[in-house]
Amino acid sequence: MSDKNTNDLLVSMRGMTKAFPGVQALENVDFDLRYGEIHALMGGNGAGKSTLIKILTGVERPDSGQITLAGQEVHVRSPQYAQSLGISTVYQEINLCPNLTVAENILIGREPMKFGRIDWKTLNAQAKEILLRVLEMDIEVTRTLGSYSVAIQQMVAIARALEIESAKVLILDEPTSSLSIHETEQLFTVMRRLKGKGMGIIFITHFIGQVYQISDRITVIRNGKLVGTYETASLPRMELITKMIGRSIAVLDEMSKTKVETSKHISKEKVLEAKEFGQTGEVEPFDLDLHAGEVLGLAGLMGSGRTEMVSLLFGLQTPDSGTLTIAGKKVEKFSPYNSIMHGLVLSPEDRKAAGIVDELTVRENIILALQAGLGWFKHLSTQKQYEIAEKYIQMLDIATPSADQPVKNLSGGNQQKVILARWLATNPQILILDEPTRGIDVGTKAEIQKLVLSLAEEGKACIFISSELEEVMRSSHRIAVLSDRRMVAEFGSEVDEQVIMQAMAGES
Amino acid sequence: MTRSKFSGIWKKIIQSKLFFPLLALGIILLFDLITVPGFFSFQVRNGNLYGSLIDIFRNASTVMLLAIGMTLVIATGGIDLSVGSIMAIAASVAALLMNPYVLGTDLSANTLKLMTDPHFTYQPLWVVILVTLIVAIICGLWNGLLVAYIRIQPMVATLILMIAGRGIAQLITNGVRIQIFYEPYAFIGQGWIILPFSLYLVAFMYVIAWLLTRRTAIGLFIESVGINFRSSFFSGIHEKKVKLLAYAFCGFCAGLAGLVASSNIKTSDAFNLGRDIELDAILAVVIGGTLMSGGRFSLLASLIGAVVIQAITTSMYAFGVPAFALQAIKSVVVIAVILLYSEQAQVLVRKFSAQKEAQP
């Protein structure tokens, strides 16, 4: 754009603040978008990225703050209003209709009419013209959308977003998470073309590599606060990750001492051994050993393959390569039930969807896995159930009025403890904890980390996953690093944070 | 002191799953007491009890049987639309086993014997019942297979048998409506031992289902799968087997209901037997407070739900409402029930009971 100074601001958000019950989602965050710029918005889970986007697109209203669009102050009242202002969004899940044709999808709600009926000829011609003009893409618009690849569908979504109004701002929320490398390239070509036309693009992704490939500037948000906005070219990857994860010069607390203490208890006996274990498309083949009494930390960014790796170990999927040996026995059948029978349990990342059974009581949630292992007919008596539940409520200090409370009434931290109790009741030898500390207050976080160490002391093996590197380092005897679905490095506990971050960034 | 004790009990009553169904039943019976003279009178004949109230329970017995199975299916988060058709299949199988001559050309001696001798049957009664129930279980297993293992949506999966089942039932009897003359068979639906025999069947099935779900871990697993099947799977529950069992049990209940219904009308009417009854069974479960999305269930509440539906029907007849208007009346009840169980109404009830507590 020659007629506009590229440093002119297209969007300017000043002092955005938003609180949800119990959470300060955003605190005084500033964000700028220039004309003809691709601006990456980075931050961990719950950092506040999506809240910021929701405010810009009118889904949420800020508690305070000011938004200017092309020099004029605006109050984005609703998503419809945002669209009329020229702010278009393409969400992660494509919300188009796969059973309609491409043309129908693009022009839905604005079909050209003739004699009170839809003029199909014009409709198809218009759609074709739009795709050619906006994206320089020539495809058969009368085929159903579902018959095209995800990348093409994503493009159609973009074409639709751009056509609704004269779009000035395009927001892409994780557009590449389901795309192949080639498809991503296609998308990037389109993005560069739009950028050349002076459009401002906000790009959200957790693929660090792509950020460096395409973006001009990067804004990092952490815990609802602005960390800073940087020119991509002048921000090394390492530094970006440091800013995203956050680093506090934490005092080496008693936990480190406990860790050193417990490391003496690690036996030579291997309780788990994975060889060339992997599944195509999920996680590349890896070797992994785990010893009794050991805590293994898994470090890696979102989407690096941590969750996929432990899901595979737990038997949620069937691997297509390699072998897994638990306590000297080779695993033949892969399912959660078989894993539990082998003494391997997984506390899943998504506590709500895969962890708690919210309508059931605390007692029922705690005995669920134990009862599942016993089968249908060896029924634990109600009295026995209460005994077990009370034992773990005390041991883990679960804050609940009674064992008969539905677990949905408990706080996140206590729900997490209930899930831990569920697994401990089965007396497992290997515990995999995927993000056990997510969304939990600081006190409970520390409690859970201490618990992990004390379990190790009892001779159990643990795999501990957390997005917060500090936590992983504090509670693990050994750390394995994943990047781009590959296990890239393994370190002892006395490793420097910098080294781990380098490995996480894939820069080793 | 006593007041707080009272309000504690009051709270427990309100929160009980039996409260609303019993309340509904109470209201209907109160309505009958006022408007229909002699509604609550009983007669004793040959040592057996007769009366309008008994009739309500006897006529409700098929829906009650279905409601037991349906409760388990709905608790897993599913639905079974095919129970009416399974009833028809069961009736056809049973009738054919007692009287297979309609298929053959041998119309001579046996047919005559069949028409005249009320104690003649081709297969003994126990074979008739056993084979019929096995066929019904196979129907249920088929539903369970489609839902749990092939992962077809329950509504669609059971729709298949709902539609195909009528055809199968007619195929079994070669399209003929088989008259049942065999007297002992009629006892299933029409016999009395002080109370109607079908009620003993209901009681028996209730006890079986209760033992199966509450004295084993199956009830917990059904509820857990219905609330969150992913969490259940992660906990090592065989969620597919749990669903398969629920549908098979539902098929079994439908088979039994088919025996009762065909015994009542002494014929295998493949086309009309159990028509639209699946909706009554589902409604009974809903009145019983089990959520259509699955989860917590109460077998007893579902049974009361079935009685409520029948009580409405009987009361309307007694009141002189024509049969064709009955569906409209039922729909009013459905709306009332849905409103009662809605979140807004629950909030109101809670407010009301809180107020009661707050009163000095």
Mean pLDDT of A249-276: 68
pLDDT at A248 over 50: no
- The answer to whether residue A233 scores a pLDDT higher than 60 is yes
Q: Tell which wins on pLDDT, B35 or B223.
A: B223
* Apex B111 CA angle, B108 and B114, nearest 5: 150
- DSSP class of residue A407? G
Q: Which of A408-412, B27-31, B205-209 shows the highest mean pLDDT?
A: B205-209
Average pLDDT on A57-66 reads 88
Interface test with A, best of B214, B222, B231, B241 (most A CBs within 10 A): B231
**A357:B232 CB<8 A:** yes
Distance CA A179, CA B109 (A): 77
Cβ atoms of B122 and B102 closer than 8 Å: no
Q: Partners of A144 in the beta sheet?
A: A101
Tell me: pLDDT of B2 over 60.
no
Cα separation, B217 vs A113, in Å, equals: 62
Both tokens assigned to A260: 């050193």
Query: Is residue B90 scored above 90 in pLDDT?
Result: yes
Average pLDDT score over chain B: 87
β-bridge pairing A270-279 and A283-291? antiparallel
Chain A closest-CA separation from residue B237 CA (Å): 5
The tokens for B225 are: 């799968």
- pLDDT at residue number A353: 84
pLDDT in the model for residue B1: 44
Which amino acid, residue A488? V
Two tokens, residue B97: 């086993």
Question: What integer pLDDT is reported at residue B360 of this predicted model?
Answer: 45
Q: Mean pLDDT across the stretch A180-197?
A: 81
| H or E, element range at A87 | strand A87-90
Across the range B98-112, mean pLDDT stands at 66
Structural domains of chain A, with CATH: 9-245 (3.40.50.300), 269-343+429-443+456-508 (3.40.50.300), 351-427 (no CATH)
Res. A4: pLDDT tops 50? no
Question: Which pLDDT does position A508 carry in this prediction?
Answer: 46
Whether pLDDT at A145 is above 90: no
pLDDT of amino acid A21: 66
pLDDT in tens, B145-163: 999 999 999 999 999 999 9
pLDDT averaged over every residue in chain A: 83
Q: Which residues form the domain of B208?
A: 46-306
Give the E-state strand segments of A21-152 in sequence order. Answer: 23-34, 37-42, 64-69, 72-74, 87-90, 113-114, 117-118
Distance from CA of A338 to the nearest CA of B (A): 8
Task: Tell whether A382 is within 8 A of chain B (Cβ).
Answer: no
The helix-helix angle for A412-424 and A362-374 (nearest 10°) equals 30
Taking residues A249-269, what's their average pLDDT? 61
From residue B78, give the alpha-carbon distance in Å to each of A30, B75, B277.
49, 7, 17
What residue type is assigned to position A153 of the chain? Q
Residue A330 has pLDDT above 60, yes or no: yes
Look at chain B and report how many structural domains it folds into.
Answer: 1
Alpha-carbon distance of A110 to B333, in angstroms, equals 43
User: In this structure, are residues B263 and B197 in contact, taking their beta carbons and an 8 Å threshold?
Assistant: no
Quick one: what percent of chain B has pLDDT higher than 90? 51
Contacting residues for B57 by C-beta, under 8 A, at least 6 apart:
B195, B196, B199, B307, B310
Q: Does residue A120 or residue A179 have the better pLDDT?
A: A120
Of chain B, the end-to-end C-alpha distance in Å amounts to 11
B56 has a chain A CB within 8 A of its CB? no
- CA distance linking residue B283 with residue A55, whole number of Å: 44
Please report, rounded to a whole number, the percentage of residues in chain A having pLDDT higher than 70.
Answer: 89
End-to-end CA distance of chain A: give it in Å, rounded. Answer: 39
Q: How many CB atoms lie within 10 A of CB A446?
A: 18
pLDDT at site A475: 82
Within a 10 A sphere around the Cβ of A180, how many other Cβ atoms?
A: 12
pLDDT at B227: 94
CA distance B252 to B205: 10
Kindly report the nearest CA distance between residue A50 and chain B, in angstroms. 26
- Whether B266 maps to a domain, the answer reads yes
The ipTM of this complex is: 0.86
Q: pLDDT-based confidence at A364, cuts 50/70/90?
A: very high
**In this model, does residue B358 exceed pLDDT 90?**
no
Distance, in Å, from the CA atom of A275 to the CA atom of A331, rounded to the nearest integer, reads 12
Is residue B339 in some structural domain?
Answer: no
Model confidence at B197: pLDDT above 70: yes
Residue B2 lies in a domain: no
Q: Is A356 on the interface with B (CB under 8 A)?
A: yes
Q: Which one of B234, B243, B296, B297 makes the best mutation probe of the A interface by having the most chain A beta carbons within 10 Å?
A: B234
8 Å CB contact of A369 and B235: yes
Backbone angle region of B97, left / alpha / beta, with phi > 0 → left and psi within -120 to 50 → alpha? alpha
Q: What integer pLDDT is reported at residue A250 of this predicted model? A: 42
For the stretch B111-139, pLDDT in tens is: 666 666 777 777 889 999 999 999 999 99
Closest CA to A45 of A60, A61, A62, A23: A23
User: Which one has a higher pLDDT value, A260 or B200?
Assistant: B200
Residue B94 and residue B268 in contact, taking contact as beta carbons nearer than 8 Å: yes
Q: What is the DSSP pairing of strand A329-330 with strand A344-347?
A: unpaired
A336/B234 CB distance under 8 A: yes
What local confidence, expressed as pLDDT, does residue A252 receive?
Answer: 38
Quickly tell me which residue has 């800020």 as its tokens: A62
Q: Is residue B196 part of a domain?
A: yes
Lowest mean pLDDT among A176-190, A284-298, B199-213, B226-240: A176-190
Say if residue A324's pLDDT is above 60.
yes
Return the pLDDT at B113: 67
pLDDT at A1 over 60: no
- Domain contains B325: no
Q: Is residue B313 part of a domain?
A: no
DSSP 8-state assignment for residue A134: I
For residue A67, what are the β-bridge partners?
Answer: A13, A74
Q: Is residue B3 part of a domain?
A: no
Query: For the purposes of burial, counting CB atoms within 10 Å of the CB of A255, is it exposed (0-12), middle (13-18) or buried (19 or more)?
Result: middle
Which residue out of B220, B229, B235 would a mutagenesis test of the A interface target, given it has the greatest number of A Cβ atoms within 10 Å? Answer: B235
- Does residue B327 form part of some domain? no
